[in-house]
Structure 1
Amino acid sequence: MRARYRRILRFAARFLAQTWWFELVLPRIGLTRIAVRTRNKRMKRFARAFHGLAVDLGGLMIKVGQFMSSRLDVLPPEITKELEGLQDEVPAVPFDRIRSAAEAELGMPLDRAYSWFDETPVAAASLGQAHRARLSALDASETGLDAVVVKVQRPGIQQIVDVDLAALRKVGGWLSRIRLVYTRVNAPALVEEFAVTSLEEIDYVHEAANAERFARDFEGDPRVAVPEVVWERSTGRVLTLQDVTAIKINDYDGLRAAGIDPDEVAREFASVMFDQLFDHGFFHADPHPGNVFVTLMPDASGSGAGGTGTVAGSGPGADASASVPSSPAWRFTFIDFGMMGEVPAGLRRGMRQLLIAVASRDGRGLVDAIREVGVLLPSADTGELERAMTALFARFGGMGFAELQEVDPREFRDFAIQFGDVVRSLPFQLPENFLLIIRASSLTSGVCSGLNPAFNLWDSVEPYAAQLLRDERGNIAQAVGKEIASIAGLAVRLPRRLDELVTRVQDGEISVDTPRLDRRVARLERMVRRVVSAVLFAGLFIGGAVLRPEDPVFGTVLMAGSVLPLLHALFAGMRRGPGAG
């Protein structure tokens, strides 16, 4: 492990020394052109070298590469592009070691815990691997399940993760002392952010709890299913889940053979993902095709039209059906809940504004929403960003995937370079939750475009944004209504309070020395009544204007009713009574 630690530090030190020489030393001696001319090659060389290091070491290094590929706010595109395809390219652990690790965790032999256990893994990743199995007769009778998938952590992975995090924290400390870096990003905070996500991902109890929470969010929703957790055969390092293997969401031929329209799948998948992001606030952050199945269900008549891929009792809504025109009933079954994201209430409000701005192609509104989310620092000069977003919407807004394919690639490249320079010049750093949102949205767009090359994500966004806009109007109208009620109550109570004040003065409870107090109080009362009337007019008129698009009758009534307090505010008190002065 010490050799692993040193290898990671040597790689980082070599890259930092090279960057220091080219980006700091050469410009100071008048050789800036050399630094600029070699920058792209150096970045690509670093990314390729890190790719090789990650594949060779495995462990968290692959996760680091995947994490770096999403940090568009910190790293140049030469690095993120090279690393975005980095996958868990690691060999499977020999079965005898997996057996030993699983038996140590479960406290019993595998042939006692399961009636059958496949020695060939279904999938092998950097942190663990999965095998198919069948529950014992006793467990099957108690759970109602038979076929399961067992995830087993790689032996020694906890120690590897600890070493990798120690090395990364050391590198983060180095970066925090470099002015070029610390003025743009808090490197130690980034490392801790990554550490939290990674430690949660290797805790299978945490993943199981995520699965059950996700299932509760979609309870009663026939579109979504979640594999059941077999808690009796699950620990922090071994996770046993119902086997829900079905048609992969990117198995286009399989979908068509089952009578399922891929275009319908694309639309429903986008809707389900938007529900997670904007309604539930808890979302699957890794919805790549390997983690989403399309599961057929028996039709209402019980004829079992589903056949292939039907899973009995898989998650919430198992007896319900989501019908697709001219096709058997089907639903989405999500797996692998190790990487989940949460959208706090404040971030969700900002995301709602963001979605509305995107749907309306409002560049300035989008920048305001980004600021509201807390991504941009208050000191950020957003003029260039607003112009870039406006240009983006003007040129590409509303285009579907098929239309975008017809655009000259050079135009894309030029815009990407210009936009990337603008983004990296701004003082901001994306929080982890926001990064996961971007990751989930990007994967969703890719899956939907694969299902239907002509799929237009804008078409899915706009109805959702329209509903959000209606909700926002309703919230505004409700607030206006409360304010009107409050003002009306004040208007009713204020004359009585003034009368009480006058009475107390007349009864001698309050000593005054001016004989004109009565006239002053009367003037004050008239003035307050007119102010209240003016405020009441404004409240009624604004409330009616807000409500009128949704409820024309009630909105018109409010606006018409606002005329009375307006007349009172304008003309009350204009006549002078006897003794006025």
Structure 2
Amino acid sequence: MLRLTRNLTRLWVIARVMARHDALFLLERLGVAAPVVTAARVFARRNVPGRPGQRLAAALAELGPTAIKFGQALSIRSDLLGEEIARDLAELQDRLPPFPFAQVRTIIESELDRPLEDIFAEFDPEPVAAASIAQVHFAITPPTPEYPSGRRVAVKVLRPGLAEVFRRDIALLYWLAELVEFAQPALRRLKPTETIRMFEDSVTMEMDLRFEAAAASEMAENFESDPTFRVPEVDWMRTGQRVMTLERIVGLPVDEVDRIVAAGLDPLDTIRNAANAFFNMVFRDGFFHADMHPGNLFVEPDGTLVAVDFGIMGRLDRATRRYLGEMLLGFLNGDYRRVAEAHFTAGWVPADKSVEGFTQACRSIAEPIMGKPLADISIARLLGQLFQVTETFQMEAQPQLLMLQKSMLVTEGVGRTVAPTVNMWELARPMIETWMAQNLGPMGRLRDGMDTVTSAAERLPRILEHADRAASLMSADGLRLHPDTLKAMRPRRNPVLQVLPWALVAVLATLLVVD
């Protein structure tokens, strides 16, 4: 009862804010808590400027940190909201007023267990950026033999009180997801509860800056031999759960084309490096930066690309990368049957559906996009439209691919800003073809087969050991089951069916007394 009251109260606040922005359509579409939505209509405003997605973004921005992050997460769900609303949510600005320097000092000193003056020789009290999760300050470390003048760093500090607010709001989101799955069975294939769980995991990682530092460190290792792309070095001695310190980047934002040209750099090289780096993240490493917008990507004086902000990352296992490669190769070569078969092989489309029908759907999506001039072809938009037609074939949502599609869309946006007449995937085509040949050709399949055999061989001694132990126990004492196992094997009675006869008796007794 307490949970219900708490969630309804919070939902009422959210509904009122959405009503003021004329953005109640999201709650209406979910089809849950209709009385709350209806009551909130009293506060609704008409003729609010902007498209529906823009009005929703404004409402979420007013609702605070969790709502802002959730709106950004929803921006990858074009299958749920439609492409226009998802695109508008992608523009949701993750900016909040900065919190006071006194709190910054308290958090740093508490986290690193030293006075601020012992940790940094200089610390700028004015933040250079303030977002929903954290804000960033510039600082200089004390002199060392390696850095006689100190090292210039960027210090990220977690926003105070965030964990409590997030716990409250995530409980509401889980409750709404459960209601959606109960009240709207057709939406279960979109995995609302799993989507919330993925969102929770993502934000939980963001709220522990040690995880973000570890992500930066891992990506730095992945690219340590690549001279075209790098990651700022982590200062682990000045990093904790609520504080992260990285080397400060000196470079140009990737979307400031005029300054890049003025610095003597070629924008085509910049986009080629970005495309190669993103392709390596996704297909070579299976670990990619999921928020590589222009504010997180810089060009150093020698042309090297540098990424920052590793709070939102994505992972793809090897099998998913193979299926994704099959899909992309099929689309690029116009082999739509191959695209369809990749979906069925991966188990993303139920086996009882028509391969021919899905092939036709893939063609209907791809032909209008792949027939455009080269510079206008968007692989990300192609994937987004593919996810939108999945309802016909009961294809379950694949959250990891939805995140990838959003990341590709952002990366393509960077490419079009820097070099509008060039297709960034065409620049990366030699690398794409090499990867395809190595991983989807005969040698790649042979290597996968050998990996499977090797994995099975490694597990075989353990399997034989367990089998031998089980055989010894059975020969000595017979087959014995744990009491909990026996209990679980007994037929379970539905509690409703157990109570129902007594309830009927009570009703009949009441009727007899009344007569």
Shorter-normalised TM range: 0.7 to 0.9
Q: Pick from 437, 440, 443: which aligns with 1:475?
A: 443
Is the contact between residue 401 and residue 453 of structure 1 (CA under 8 Å) also seen in structure 2? Answer: no
1:72 Cα deviation after fit: 1.9
Counterpart CA distance in 2 for 1:417 and 1:185 is 14
Is the contact between residue 190 and residue 396 of structure 2 (CA under 8 Å) also seen in structure 1? Answer: yes
Percent pairwise identity: 29
Counterpart CA distance in 1 for 2:9 and 2:148 is 48
Q: Does 1:58 align with 2:64?
A: yes
Q: Does 1:229 align with 2:234?
A: yes
1:332 Cα deviation after fit: 1.1
Is the contact between residue 73 and residue 428 of structure 1 (CA under 8 Å) also seen in structure 2? Answer: no
Q: Does 1:365 align with 2:338?
A: yes
1:473-513 deviation per Cα after TM superposition (whole angstroms, max 9, x unaligned):
3417958x99xxxxxxxxxxxxxxxxxxxxxxxxxxxxxxx
Q: Does 1:114 align with 2:113?
A: no
Counterpart CA distance in 2 for 1:251 and 1:269 is 15
Partner of 2:401: 434
Partner of 2:79: 73
1:63 Cα deviation after fit: 1.0
Partner of 1:131: 137
1:432 Cα deviation after fit: 2.7
Counterpart CA distance in 1 for 2:193 and 2:128 is 36
Q: Does 1:333 align with 2:306?
A: yes
Q: How does 1:181-196 map to 2 (within 5 A)?
A: 181-196=186-201
Partner of 1:460: 427
Inter-CA distance 108–9: structure 2 relative to 1 (3 Å threshold): farther
RMSD after superposition: 3.6
Inter-CA distance 467–162: structure 2 relative to 1 (3 Å threshold): same
Counterpart CA distance in 1 for 2:275 and 2:185 is 40
Inter-CA distance 164–477: structure 2 relative to 1 (3 Å threshold): closer
Counterpart CA distance in 1 for 2:109 and 2:221 is 31
Partner of 2:479: none
Q: Does 1:210 align with 2:215?
A: yes
Structure 1 spans left out of the alignment, 5+ residues: 25-40, 297-328, 406-412, 483-581
Inter-CA distance 158–5: structure 2 relative to 1 (3 Å threshold): farther
Partner of 1:346: 319
1:103-162 deviation per Cα after TM superposition (whole angstroms, max 9, x unaligned):
222222322211111122111110110010111235x75899610000001111111111
1:227 Cα deviation after fit: 1.0
Q: Does 1:285 align with 2:290?
A: yes
Aligned-partner residue type, residue 63 of structure 2: L
Partner of 1:179: 184
Deviates more, 1:264-273 or 1:46-55: 46-55
Is the contact between residue 326 and residue 342 of structure 2 (CA under 8 Å) also seen in structure 1? Answer: yes
Is the contact between residue 71 and residue 89 of structure 2 (CA under 8 Å) also seen in structure 1? Answer: yes
**SS of 1:232 mapped into structure 2:** helix
Q: Pick from 191, 197, 206: which aligns with 1:201?
A: 206
Is the contact between residue 7 and residue 172 of structure 2 (CA under 8 Å) also seen in structure 1? Answer: no
Q: How does 1:310-329 map to 2 (within 5 A)?
A: 329=302
Aligned-partner residue type, residue 185 of structure 1: L
Inter-CA distance 227–4: structure 2 relative to 1 (3 Å threshold): farther
Inter-CA distance 137–5: structure 2 relative to 1 (3 Å threshold): farther
Aligned-partner residue type, residue 7 of structure 1: R
Q: Pick from 100, 104, 123: which aligns with 1:98?
A: 104
Counterpart CA distance in 1 for 2:164 and 2:83 is 32
Aligned-partner residue type, residue 260 of structure 2: L
Aligned-partner residue type, residue 176 of structure 1: E
1:151-201 deviation per Cα after TM superposition (whole angstroms, max 9, x unaligned):
001111111111111111111121121135544333222211111111111
**SS of 1:74 mapped into structure 2:** helix
Aligned length: 424
Q: Pick from 225, 229, 247: which aligns with 1:242?
A: 247
TM-score w.r.t. the length of structure 2 is 0.73
1:418 Cα deviation after fit: 9.0
Partner of 1:160: 165
**SS of 1:198 mapped into structure 2:** helix
Counterpart CA distance in 2 for 1:380 and 1:165 is 36
Is the contact between residue 124 and residue 139 of structure 2 (CA under 8 Å) also seen in structure 1? Answer: yes
Is the contact between residue 150 and residue 238 of structure 1 (CA under 8 Å) also seen in structure 2? Answer: yes
Counterpart CA distance in 2 for 1:270 and 1:219 is 17
Counterpart CA distance in 1 for 2:376 and 2:335 is 21
1:4 Cα deviation after fit: 9.4
**SS of 2:121 mapped into structure 1:** strand
Aligned-partner residue type, residue 312 of structure 2: M
Is the contact between residue 276 and residue 283 of structure 1 (CA under 8 Å) also seen in structure 2? Answer: yes
1:210 Cα deviation after fit: 0.8
Aligned-partner residue type, residue 432 of structure 1: P
Counterpart CA distance in 1 for 2:335 and 2:261 is 38
**SS of 1:132 mapped into structure 2:** strand
Counterpart CA distance in 2 for 1:108 and 1:294 is 35
Inter-CA distance 215–17: structure 2 relative to 1 (3 Å threshold): closer
Counterpart CA distance in 2 for 1:416 and 1:432 is 13
Counterpart CA distance in 2 for 1:21 and 1:208 is 40
Counterpart CA distance in 2 for 1:137 and 1:293 is 27
Partner of 1:397: 370
1:428 Cα deviation after fit: 2.3
Q: How does 1:494-573 map to 2 (within 5 A)?
A: none
